[in-house]
Amino acid sequence: MIKVERLLINYKTLEMFKRFKEYGHQELSMLEDLQNKIVENNSESPFYGIYYGNNLIARMSLYEINKKYDYYFEPQQDYLTLWKLEVLPDYQGRGYGKRLVEFAKEFRLPIKTNPRINSHGFWEKMGFQKAHYEMERDLGENPLIWLPEGVQEKEIIK
Amino acid sequence: MIKVERLLINYKTLEMFKRFKEYGHQELSMLEDLQNKIVENNSESPFYGIYYGNNLIARMSLYEINKKYDYYFEPQQDYLTLWKLEVLPDYQGRGYGKRLVEFAKEFRLPIKTNPRINSHGFWEKMGFQKAHYEMERDLGENPLIWLPEGVQEKEIIK
């Protein structure tokens, strides 16, 4: 069983994040906050990851959106948003991405993600479906959702 | 002067959209709406583009966000969100991207965009700056903003 760990914010983690393609403002901001002591060393991050030996080889970010801001699900409820799911190239095709998504599903909350366009086959295999696209809500996103039992996609009235 | 046109939703435009890398749910949804006659042929789209002869060679999407949902600017106000700015590879480096962004600026509203990571040099030249990253608001985004005169970035209280 591949172990998924909640990642702690420290210089070592942030250095390992640089190997991932989707390194961006989020990681830079975490680094600045650490340097300026706005966050403590080893505080929890929204990232979960998989280590292979001492190397972080896969990661994703998860954040729980409050029911109040749920425009995707029926009944309206808290849900998870998942982003920056990525497995380093040398470790792809071995189930690490799948394991991370399964980990997210274990919270038994609906999940929304906005994947890059060429990864739809993977998400479909993971049981995700295209949300009906609504421009005012989704703008440049390609929203995919996963529905646990008893949850439906919110109907859009055009 | 390079002419920027508001793009109309019709089969010809939607076919030309397929040449752009960031073709996604938005375009597919426009196509379905046209096929199902939910939108009329030649209705206005959120896309603006540049033609070279009969070919669409550059495009962007623009949408005005209501003041009520402005979490980026001070004073709080209507702003534009810009996405899918893209110039076809054979036409890059000739000022078409710049022309589209200048067109967006002519509305004299603040602009927010979430560019791909490797395009920051371009946006900097266009006068955009990194918004302070706030996880609950920005999630997987790399927000860049442009401020017209008299507008500031909203201060974030950590």
The tokens describing A65, both together, are 């959106």
In 3D, which of B89, B72, B92 has the Cα closest to residue B81? B72
DSSP A16-61: HHTTSTT--HHHHHHHHHHHTTSS-TTEEEEEEEEEETTEEEEEEE
Query: What is the per-residue pLDDT for B7?
Result: 98
CA closest to B39 among chain A residues: A158
Residue A157 has pLDDT above 70, yes or no: no
In 3D, which of A79, A76, A83, A107 has the Cα closest to residue B141? A83
Convert B62-94 to b/e letters by CB count within 10 Å (16 or more is b): beebeeeebebbeeebebbbbbbbbbbeeeeee
- Compute CA B112 distance to the chain's CA centroid, rounded to the nearest angstrom: 9
Interchain proximity A61–B139, CB inside 8 Å: yes
pTM above 0.90?
Answer: yes
Q: Which amino acid is at A119?
A: S
- Tell me which residue range forms the domain holding A141: 48-153
Is B127 a domain residue? yes
Is A134 a domain residue? yes
| Structural domain total, chain A | 1
Interchain proximity B142–A25, CB inside 8 Å: yes
**DSSP-assigned beta bridge partners for residue B56:** B51
Query: What is the per-residue pLDDT for B21?
Result: 94
Interchain proximity B46–A135, CB inside 8 Å: yes
Which residues of A are less than 8 Å from B71 in CB distance? Answer: none
Distance from CA of B29 to the nearest CA of A (A): 6
Query: What is the per-residue pLDDT for A117?
Result: 74
Q: What is the ipTM of this complex?
A: 0.91
- Kindly provide the residue ranges of all beta strands, DSSP E only, lying in chain B, ordered along the sequence: 5-9, 43-52, 55-65, 73-74, 79-87, 111-113, 129-130, 144-146, 152-153
* Across B114-141, average pLDDT: 93
CA closest to A83 among chain B residues: B140
Residue B116 has pLDDT above 90, yes or no: no
Residue B28 has pLDDT above 70, yes or no: yes
Distance from CA of A81 to the nearest CA of B (A): 8
Is B155 within 8 Å of B74 (Cβ atoms)? yes
Which residues of A are less than 8 Å from B133 in CB distance? Answer: 25-26, 28-29
Q: Provide the 3-class DSSP secondary structure of residue A9.
A: strand
Is A90 a domain residue? yes
- What's the whole-number average pLDDT of chain A? 95
CA closest to A113 among chain B residues: B140
In 3D, which of B31, B13, B34, B26 has the Cα closest to residue A132? B26
pLDDT digits (tens, 9 = 90+) for A113-139: 999 877 889 999 999 999 999 999 999
Is A158 a domain residue? no
CA closest to B144 among chain A residues: A25
Q: Would you place residue B158 in the very low, low, confident or very high pLDDT band (cuts 50, 70, 90)? A: low
Percent of chain A at pLDDT exceeding 70: 99
CATH of the domain at A60: 3.40.630.30
Which contiguous run of DSSP H or E holds residue B103? helix B96-105
pLDDT digits (tens, 9 = 90+) for A29-64: 999 999 999 999 999 999 999 999 999 999 999 999
Is A148 a domain residue? yes
